[in-house]
Structure 1
Amino acid sequence: MYYFIRHYDIFRALLLISATAFNETFLWMIYQLAIYPRLLSPLRHLPEPKSSRFFTGESFNIFITPSMTTTRKWINETPNDGLIRFRTLWGVDSLMVTSPELLGELLISKAYDYTKRPWLAKVLALVLGNGIIFAEGAEHKRQRKHLIPPFAYSRIKELYPLFWKQTCDATAILSSVVQDQKPIQINDWASRLTLDIIGEAGMGQSFQAVSKPTDNELYGAYATVFKQSPKQQARQIVRRLVRDFFSSRLPYFEQWFPLDPNNPAVRSIRLIRRLTREIIASGKASIDPLAAGGGRQQARIDVINAAVGSQAFSEEELVNQMMTFLLAGHESTASALTMACYYFCKHPEVQDKLRAEIRATLPSPSSSSTIDAARIRSQPYLMAVVEEVMRIAPAVPISGRVAVTDTWIGKNQFVPKGTTVILASAAINTSKELWGPDALEFKPERWLNGTIPKSPFANMTFLHGPRSCMGEDFARGVFACVVAAWVGRFEMEFEDPDYKPVFAPATLNIRLEGGMGIKLRPIDGW
């Protein structure tokens, strides 16, 4: 009998505990989903999208569907005064900023009240290292101070001849490939070409991704890292977050469960870092009299040479900065080129007009003539096309910040610490309130007839303030040179006349699922 009573008491205790835990969980759910967001949240008076769900909020729309599509729908269909509130899983409050005035406040005067999202920083730091993108506070200010000179336009303009030469070499190879009129995956060619240009102009190295793609060690590593499907990327993110969660609580977790050394992405990242370290050593040798054998060598004209010469970074910091420049810069510019080709195929009249300007003013890629920055940037329609592509299809359509302190935005809107604030570049750039009723249409002429908004914060392609993209002038120069050469030499059309772009969800850069097949027809006379 004693045995029965003892176990009965234990059973009752466990039942009471489970019932208490259930009740607490149930009450927390009611508070989190119904009471706090409707009665207590300081953001409760702000407008919300109509598509929000009770349990998941807008999580499905943000992470499962392309963020560009979702945020554009919000900004153009949700009446607002500069802020849109949306909720994610379990009713967690978030904000999207929609007005130039509030964007200026968030990016300039209160830039350091917000940081990058910690979970995303942990994941991307695996690939990019702890460089300028993820540095915060005083460390970010220090890194940016010493990285601004290598990316200043006064230095970037000296690289235009290298941009043009690499583009001309690639155009010659592409011309021979498309002679039989077979379609090509233009996204693949754009990726390889931008990698070659960044290698030569950014690091003083010939990667040969265009001429030798199948036996190119570096390009293969890039493909492994960046060509993963969204599902593969999601698994990598979940795996990393789980590892971080347990590692912070179990001291020996990392030793017990190390990263799989045979994982293709892990191997590729290690390979890229090793090659980057070798390139940095080469850059040091080019400016160090002792390392160069007692005599100073001819200084290379590239970005890494300037960063090494500043002597402001350790070797590991230089590796992280160059990883950021290589990976982020290469992929974003390739995305922009792919989208440019999409709009050229969709709007052949733009092709024709741009081709006429280019052929009348610029030398053929097959000639030995070189080009400087002034000559490229003096082509009005070319630069209008470049700006319009970057506006309507920003390479990074959405980025996020987290408030690190209780703060305010606007005249009287309180933002609690921990609130996520998203900067939806693709939405701001196509806001009908800012850009007019034709905001979603591809119209390069808007940059020539003075109809663009006056506020710089109406165009968020490269962001603004201390967190803006320092590679803006580099990216714009590469983009303009490639567009000029390709449109001048080829006539473009879709492989499938009925092609409709399908954008991959939950990706940092704009990415077309399945790529994009197009036909290039070389045009004589230039």
Structure 2
Amino acid sequence: MNSLVILAISSIAWLIWRAARSVFIRSPIDNVPGPTAPSLMRGNLGQLLNRDGWEFLDEVGQKYNKVVKLKGLFGHRMLYVFDPKALHQVVIKEADIYDLPEWLTDGVKLTTGPGLLGVHGAHHRRQRKMLNPAFSIKHMRTLTPLFYGVAHRLRSAMETQVGDVPTTINMVNWFSRTALELIGQGGLGYSLDSLDTPMPNPYGEALKQFLPALFANAELQFLLKHVKKIGSPAFRSAMIDWLPLPDLQRLKKVVSILGYEARNLYFIKKKALQAGGENVLKQVGEGKDIMSILMQANMQASEEDRLTEDELIGQMSLLVQAGTDTTSNALTMLIHILAEHPNIQDKLRSEIQQAKEQYGEDIPYDNLVSLPYMDALCRETLRLFPPVSFIFRETRKDVIMPLSEAIAGVDGTTMTEIPVPAGTTVIIGIRAVNHSKNVWGDDVKEFKPERWLSPLPATVMEAHIPGVYSNLMTFNGGGRACIGFKFSQLEMKVVLATIVSSFKISLADVTKDVVWNLAGVYYPTVGKYSNQPGFPVTLERIQA
């Protein structure tokens, strides 16, 4: 009890000090325009982390000029950035200064282990170097037949559910299970969902709960870098058990299951790889999955480059958690668009059918990824509806942030650059960059796949957006860009080619009640206040 009293007093004192510091100590960031914070305690986080916060994000992206001041917990200053020149510094030129926040990496290590998102600097570069070959185009060609195998199982399961008459089904459920199986087979060499039983295995079930549970505890994560300094690890663990916060307890339970299952899968795979020969070929994917390639490369690496078992397990956990909801929900958004626009659906189906006639039922990798209309659809969907709307960084030291064009400060002075103190939270506004009218033109809010079928506007090329994918920030850029974006693109296109050629997709009566929720990864629900992901559409089988 004495420890709890000391902890409570220390925490209150720290919070008071932080609030007072933000009020009485001036910062260069204070001259950057931004919206008023509605809460002294939460700042703008209540708006930023609200599942219904799309209007706030759009207001920030349209009303202000590419760099916006926001407030975090107890007055902590944050910069919401979507200026291309500033972003080039953040994600490429000075990426080591604008690193992942401690609360984020601490949270990653607590939940998934020391994988790519849980380490910094040279440690991160060493891990990424080991992983890069497994995400190459050459390896994607190898994985394509495996992906088609999963897509065919999905089609068979959906045909069984649909039968011979138009039937309304929950697409988000099928796509999430499919993405889980694709990352299971292609990433881990393990089947996580056979797609022929009502529900996936415990690992799959826990994975489905992970991101919602993590987002529900988003504001607690900002306190991690301070809480981690209090007491011993055993004391902090006991504190988590003691805190009467249902969302926190749910997250702890999910993380416990994920940790156990990931470690178990790792040792099964390690044993098979050490035995070699037939043992590898008997695995799902026959040793062609990402983790098999990584573990084999790790065995052959020099001692200084070799990853520890905890790092390998961390990569395994991160692969599955980062690669499931992002792809499945982007696919669901695409199906939403196709259901709303039958003309777009018909045009896509025609292109797919022509390719199948020319190349066979399973369109080869190079031909599939270069289908022009399908590619334009994917690009436009990921531009207008990026699954992740923003990501966080934190400055490790004082730095001067350059701007592509001057902004007017709060005091009326012209600002061509912004002095950013160490410890400032910088938010990369992915959605804001993708929705910039100055970059994409007056029709920026319109869904127009055709924009990708002709040369892009000069303003797009001149902006020099530092994203790794198609002049967009959807997959980030620089050394922290999403390593699996080619994997994700292949998943989406294989599933689209299989499903669109087999089913006519229409809006169901209840589709009008679907709401897309802002979260770490957006997700649909039927009804504004539902906590259960869902997206119903009507499918009708297309006879061969």
TM-score w.r.t. structure 1 length? 0.83
Change (3 A) 1:147 1:498: closer
Change (3 A) 1:170 1:27: closer
Q: Deviations over 1:166-185 (max 9, x none)?
A: 11111111111122534222
Q: Deviations over 1:475-519 (max 9, x none)?
A: 0110111122222222222323661543334x2111223434333
Partner of 1:348: 342
Partner of 2:317: 323
Q: Which of 429, 435, 438 is equivalent to 1:430?
A: 435
Q: Which of 36, 41, 47 is equivalent to 1:61?
A: 47
Partner of 2:367: 375
Cα deviation for residue 228 of structure 1 reads: 4.6
1:45 aligns with 2:31: yes
Partner of 1:12: none
- Letter paired with 1:397: S
**In structure 1, what is the Cα distance between the partners aligned to 2:372 and 2:17?**
63
Q: Deviations over 1:234-279 (max 9, x none)?
A: 3x864x777875663333524654648x955444433333333343
Q: Which of 237, 250, 259 is equivalent to 1:273?
A: 259
Q: Deviations over 1:140-199 (max 9, x none)?
A: 111111111111222122211111221111111111112253422211111000111111
**Greater Rg over alpha carbons, structure:** 1
1:249 aligns with 2:241: no
**In structure 1, what is the Cα distance between the partners aligned to 2:455 and 2:69?**
33
For the 8 Å contact 1:209–1:216, the answer to whether it is kept is no
For the 8 Å contact 1:158–1:372, the answer to whether it is kept is no
CA RMSD of superposed structures (Å): 3.2
Q: Which of 521, 525, 544 is equivalent to 1:513?
A: 525
Secondary structure of the corresponding residue to residue 208 of structure 1: coil
Q: Deviations over 1:95-115 (max 9, x none)?
A: 122222221121111000022
1:198 aligns with 2:183: yes
Secondary structure of the corresponding residue to residue 231 of structure 2: coil
Partner of 1:156: 140
**In structure 2, what is the Cα distance between the partners aligned to 1:276 and 1:153?**
26
Cα deviation for residue 392 of structure 1 reads: 1.4
**In structure 1, what is the Cα distance between the partners aligned to 2:352 and 2:224?**
53
Q: Which of 175, 183, 206 is equivalent to 1:221?
A: 206
Secondary structure of the corresponding residue to residue 196 of structure 1: helix
**In structure 2, what is the Cα distance between the partners aligned to 1:172 and 1:296?**
28
Secondary structure of the corresponding residue to residue 130 of structure 1: coil
Partner of 1:473: 486
Secondary structure of the corresponding residue to residue 335 of structure 2: helix
Partner of 2:420: 415
Secondary structure of the corresponding residue to residue 68 of structure 2: strand
- Letter paired with 2:320: L
**In structure 2, what is the Cα distance between the partners aligned to 1:464 and 1:285?**
36
1:306 aligns with 2:293: yes
Q: Which of 375, 382, 385 is equivalent to 2:377?
A: 385
How many residues are treated as equivalent by the alignment? Answer: 488
**In structure 1, what is the Cα distance between the partners aligned to 2:328 and 2:543?**
28
Q: Which of 384, 395, 400 is equivalent to 2:387?
A: 395
Instruction: Pick which of 415-424 and 451-460 moved more.
Output: 451-460
For the 8 Å contact 2:502–2:541, the answer to whether it is kept is yes
Partner of 2:57: 71
**In structure 1, what is the Cα distance between the partners aligned to 2:319 and 2:16?**
48
Cα deviation for residue 445 of structure 1 reads: 0.9
- Letter paired with 2:183: I
For the 8 Å contact 2:168–2:537, the answer to whether it is kept is yes
For the 8 Å contact 2:168–2:539, the answer to whether it is kept is no
Q: Deviations over 1:29-56 (max 9, x none)?
A: 67734x54xxx4212332323x544735
Percent of aligned positions with the same letter in both sequences?
25
Q: Deviations over 1:311-338 (max 9, x none)?
A: 1222221110010001111121111111
Change (3 A) 1:243 1:466: closer
Partner of 1:13: none
**In structure 1, what is the Cα distance between the partners aligned to 2:449 and 2:277?**
53
**In structure 2, what is the Cα distance between the partners aligned to 1:220 and 1:501?**
23
Secondary structure of the corresponding residue to residue 395 of structure 1: coil
For the 8 Å contact 2:103–2:224, the answer to whether it is kept is no
**In structure 2, what is the Cα distance between the partners aligned to 1:71 and 1:402?**
20
Q: Deviations over 1:362-421 (max 9, x none)?
A: 269xx9943321121131101111111111111211101011111111164210011111
Extract unaligned runs of 5+ from structure 1: 1-20
**In structure 2, what is the Cα distance between the partners aligned to 1:113 and 1:186?**
42
Secondary structure of the corresponding residue to residue 502 of structure 1: strand
Secondary structure of the corresponding residue to residue 183 of structure 1: strand
TM-score w.r.t. structure 2 length? 0.81
Alignment of 1:101-250 (within 5 A): 101-179=85-163, 180-214=165-199, 216-226=201-211, 228=213, 233-234=216-217, 238=220, 248-250=229-231
For the 8 Å contact 1:198–1:330, the answer to whether it is kept is yes
Partner of 1:357: 351
- Letter paired with 1:418: G
Partner of 2:473: 460
Change (3 A) 1:112 1:351: same
**In structure 2, what is the Cα distance between the partners aligned to 1:28 and 1:173?**
55
1:488 aligns with 2:493: no
Partner of 2:302: none
**In structure 1, what is the Cα distance between the partners aligned to 2:271 and 2:37?**
57
- Letter paired with 2:430: S
For the 8 Å contact 1:402–1:420, the answer to whether it is kept is yes
Change (3 A) 1:371 1:356: closer
Change (3 A) 1:296 1:502: closer
